[in-house]
């Protein structure tokens, strides 16, 4: 898959695109690990902490209309 992305990223925008891709991949990895811990951790304290992190993250990306 990286072979498919390399020509697109080097031709289009260069290093800035790699930085953006790196940030997005890191963020998705963080969310995936946190979700895994929240769902499958046998330690209740750790699972609750991961659940709170995911709820705060969801609140950050939830748009609410103001009346």
Q: Is the pLDDT of residue 51 over 70?
A: yes
For residue 42, being part of any structural domain is answered with yes
Q: Which domain holds residue 48?
A: 2-61
| pLDDT tens readout for residues 12-32 | 567 777 788 899 999 999 999
Distances (CA, A) of 29 to 14, 36, 46, 65: 23, 10, 18, 30
> Which helix H or strand E contains 15, and what residues bound it?
helix 15-40
> Could you give the count of Cα atoms lying within 13 Å of 56 in the half-sphere of its Cβ?
7
**What's the pLDDT score for residue 1?**
62
Q: What is the pTM of this model?
A: 0.70
Residue at 66 is within a domain? no
Q: What's residue 42's pLDDT? A: 95
| Residue 45 domain flag | yes
Domain annotation covers residue 8: yes
Number of domains in the chain: 1
Mean pLDDT for 36-47 is: 96
């Amino acid at each position: 898959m990286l072979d498919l992305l390399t020509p697109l990223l080097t031709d289009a925008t260069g290093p800035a695109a790699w930085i953006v891709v790196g940030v997005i991949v890191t963020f998705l990895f963080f969310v995936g690990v946190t979700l895994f811990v929240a769902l499958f951790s046998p330690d209740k304290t750790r699972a609750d902490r991961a659940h709170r992190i995911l709820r705060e993250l969801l609140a950050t990306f939830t748009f609410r209309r103001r009346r």
